[in-house]
Amino acid sequence: MHHRHLNHQRLTLAALDDLIENGTLADWRPVLGRVRQDPEGPVASRLAQLLSAKDYEESGALWQHFLDDARARGGTARKIRSVTRRDGRPALPVPDPQGGPTSPLPELQQTGRTDG
């Protein structure tokens, strides 16, 4: 989106403010992608700052919902990474769906054996 009153295309507070108030869905997509990619990053932080400082009516509610959802999903991704080893194997025992204490999955992945 071209901001008539700005002489740059960076996502500053002024640019985000203009985008929320006057942008179309096509204008919003790049920002939505940046927030989804880094929900705690600088663009998301500036967006949160604007949303808490100004009432954008309907579009503000939509942006707030998207930001909250992106941050919740980002937290889930961090939790998954924290219980996964670098090689992708679970760092914690995997519950056995049949009610046993743990699944043999980590051991099978280590040894490559499937004969028990």
Instruction: Tell me, yes or no, whether 115 lies in a domain.
Output: no
Mean pLDDT of successive 10-residue stretches along the chain, which has 116 residues: 50 90 89 93 95 91 94 69 62 56 49 50
* Per-residue confidence (pLDDT) for residue 74, from 0 to 100: 83
**Do the Cβ atoms of 11 and 31 come closer than 8 Å?**
yes
Domains in the chain: how many in total?
1
pTM: 0.58
Instruction: Tell me, yes or no, whether 113 lies in a domain.
Output: no
Helix/strand/coil for 62? helix
Instruction: Tell me, yes or no, whether 6 lies in a domain.
Output: no
- Residue 45 belongs to domain spanning: 13-82
| CA 63/CA 66 separation, integer angstroms | 5
Instruction: Tell me, yes or no, whether 34 lies in a domain.
Output: yes
